[in-house]
Amino acid sequence: MSGTVIVGASQAGVQLAMSLRELGYTAPITMVGAEAYPPYQRPPLSKEFLTGTAGHESLSFRTAAFYADAGIELICGERVVDLALPADGRSGLARTATGRELAFDRLALTVGARPRRLTVPGSDLDGILYLRDVDDAQQLRTRLAGASRVVVVGGGFIGLEAAAVARAQDKDVTVVEAADRLIARAVAPVVSEFYRQAHERRGTTVLLSTAVAGFSGTDGAVTGVLLADGTELPADLVMVGVGVLPRTELAEQLGLECDGGIVVDAYARTSESSVVAAGDCTVLPHPLTGEGRVRLESVHNAVHQAAVAAATLVGAPAETRSVPWFWSNQGQLRLQIAGLSAGFDSFVVRGNTDDEKFSVLYYRDGELLAVDAVNNPVDYMVVRKALTQGVSIPADLAGDSSTPLKTLLAAAAVPG
């Protein structure tokens, strides 16, 4: 009995293995990770870990004893480089870079994503860092302590979280964003503008619609960021956060459909139905409507999709509808998102953005899609509950912040 091989010791990989055992799966489970460490949480890397309030040991999902007791063989520090699916009565085979061979009859890909890297002149200079794994975070934390002028390339969540940490340490911080607003793919312009103002109030310089043309350096170390307009920003540390690229190499090797990620259906099945995939490496049907394809980088999606994948592997397909949720901590600013706002045609703002406590509710054709809540966990939880129940909160009423959303939800949930 060959059992299951899970390629990728990620959040999704751990959840998939645990879910298999919870579903009564008794065959061998082997999880292979390229990093030298047991599976760990990634979200704190740009938050608590970077500030020094969390250590490496606190990030681990489980102890070594847990994996052993659950009958999960965990192989760290080895990257799978070759896969062959079961055929003609033979088991499938996973081969690592060291030559280790692992037989399987079921395969799961939870391989995550890698940072998108800049290829402009000077991008190989020392002092230009990325943030994806714990080694990256440790290096950034160490280098940040001795830096004075920090440039963050990319105004997405990771970049802004890192910028907030650097500014809290009294560094001179500049955020350079190529788009005309911050976190443009995730939030409405009103939220983008709030974050620009909030970071600038704290002393960070934010440059929008600004492209990086290259980097300057001395003795192999970065000293400046060259902008497309000819300006040079002095820098002794650069953090690049310009998105990620799903790891699709193994899926492509197997001939699986890939389109901006490994394409899966609502049950986490790839185009080869015997292979499942979960987490940041996948593109999947919209988790609420089933329409189109989306790629979700979140703890919630990794956990939920992995549980669905495990159920599929044991032949007991699970309920797949789920409300996506996300969060971002940028210093004193805690953003919580429930739902997906893509395609919205209107929104309402509850509260005053100048108070740094407000929420934005998104709608399409009058139906509630999502919420962005800044330092407002109550509105976040109410909208998340509404989306879970499939109930909309009327936009014309939601705009009155003097009326609690939970009151509006209660009224909307009563059958008419």
User: What's the pLDDT score for residue 159?
Assistant: 97
Q: Is the pTM of this model over 0.85?
A: yes
d(CA 276, CA 262): 10
Q: Which two tokens stand for residue 328?
A: 């971002």
DSSP annotation string for 313-339: HTT-PPP-----EEEEEETTEEEEEEE
Residue 13 has pLDDT above 60, yes or no: yes
Do residues 398 and 361 lie in contact, with contact meaning Cβ atoms separated by under 8 Å? yes
| Res 290: pLDDT | 86
For residue 358, give the H/E element and its range: strand 357-364
More confident position, 3 or 54? 3
CB 370 within 8 A of CB 362: yes
Per-residue model confidence as pLDDT tens digits over 294-304:
999 999 999 99
E strand or H helix that includes residue 212: strand 212-218
Per-residue pLDDT reduced to its tens digit, 75-104: 999 999 999 999 988 999 999 999 999 999
**Which domains, and CATH codes, for the chain?**
4-113+245-313 (3.50.50.60), 117-240 (3.50.50.60), 332-413 (3.30.390.30)
Please provide the average confidence, as pLDDT, over all residues in the chain: 95
Q: Which residues of 13-142 form beta strands (DSSP E)?
A: 29-33, 72-76, 80-84, 92-96, 101-104, 106-109, 113-115, 128-130
Q: How far apart are CA 98 and CA 114, in angstroms?
A: 21
Instruction: Output the CA–CA distances (angstroms, integers) from residue 111 to 82, 247, 277, 317, 332, in the order listed.
Output: 13, 6, 8, 22, 32
Are the C-beta atoms of 318 and 311 separated by less than 8 Å? yes
Between CA 176 and CA 174 the distance in angstroms is: 6
Q: How many other C-beta atoms are found inside a 10 Å radius of the C-beta of residue 413?
A: 13
